[in-house]
Amino acid sequence: MLKFDIAMHKDVETLLEVQALEQRLKELDSEINSLPRRLAAIEAQIATQKSALESAQAAQAASQAERRKLESQIQDLKAKVEKSRSHSSEVKNNQEYKALLDEIAFGEAEVAKSEERLLQLMEDGEVRAAAVKEAEQALAAAQAAIAGEKRAIEERAAADRAERQRVAEQRAGRRATVAEDTLRRYDRVARLRGQAVAVLDQNACGCCRVRLRPQFLQEILTPSDRVFFCESCGRLLYAATAAAEPEVAPVAGAAQLA
């Protein structure tokens, strides 16, 4: 505990500890509130990897569907060409024979063009399959890496909530020992100013920096049972050999308070 130039009023000493506990509660609340956003960011990473895999799978499926359709078309074209060839003995004149040859040539050209496209699709299928495998591996790696991070966040959230409960109970216990009128004044100033207890610093309020009247300063530095408030900002004042946060009694299992 700090060593004071004068005996600190018991309520002010307690409220200084309450103020430190409340600061810790704010830190815990901030961290607890940030955890869902961190989890959402993790889920977004997984969603991105899943989307990449789905896109790769969709491209592979489209390529395979086109390949099956083309294979069926090639079979139909070849059958048509063979049918045309089988009718060559039935032609009656040169004109019909020439038309039949043109039909066969056209069919064979279509078969060749389709087979060339099929070859491209087969090569493309290898690329698509590799892309799917790569996306699956990337998703699995991301899920494995993020699972640990997600578990750590969830464990931290549980620890923070447990510590918050302990700190809140400790704060409630401290507040219960403070005089009601002083506590009301403290709460009102805390709502308005954030920090409700300030140390004297060079004859001025350590928070608002307004210099104190000499007579008022002398009253503060004279041992008494009074609680003093800054005439400018309304904060509770105390005098100490060093302007520092008090050491709050440790909470079992809780992290050291800042």
pLDDT at 72 over 80: yes
Which pLDDT does position 242 carry in this prediction? 44
**24-66 tens-digit pLDDT:** 999 999 999 888 888 888 888 888 889 999 999 998 898 889 8
pLDDT tens string 127-144: 889 999 999 998 888 888
Q: Residue 197: pLDDT band by 50, 70, 90 thresholds?
A: very high
Tell me the pTM. 0.56
- The predicted pLDDT at position 2 comes to 35
Q: Which of 156, 159, 164 minimizes the C-alpha distance to 36?
A: 156
Q: Which CATH architecture has domain 20-178?
A: Orthogonal Bundle (1.10)
What's the pLDDT score for residue 252?
Answer: 39
pLDDT of residue 158: 92
7 pLDDT tier (thresholds 50, 70, 90): low
Handedness of CA 68, 72, 73, 78 (dihedral sign): positive
- The secondary structure of residue 249, as a DSSP letter, is P
Mean pLDDT of the chain: 84
The strand ranges marked E within the chain are: 197-201, 204-205, 236-238
Distance CA 14, CA 62 (A): 72
CA distance 169 to 2: 24
Token pair listed for 63: 């390529």
Phi and psi (nearest 5°) for 217? -60, -40
Between 23 and 224, the more confident residue is 23
**Which tens digits make up the pLDDT trace of 140-194?**
888 887 888 888 888 899 999 999 999 999 999 999 999 999 999 999 999 998 8
Q: Are 203 and 225 in contact (CB under 8 A)?
A: no
Q: Within the chain, which residue ranges are assigned CATH 1.10.287.1490?
A: 20-178
Please check the confidence at residue 223 and state whether its pLDDT lies above 50. Answer: yes
Q: What integer pLDDT is reported at residue 251 of this predicted model?
A: 38
- Give the per-residue pLDDT at 6: 53
Tell me the pLDDT band of 99, cut-offs 50, 70 and 90: confident
Q: What is the pLDDT of residue 241?
A: 54
Between residues 83 and 166, which one has the greater pLDDT? 166
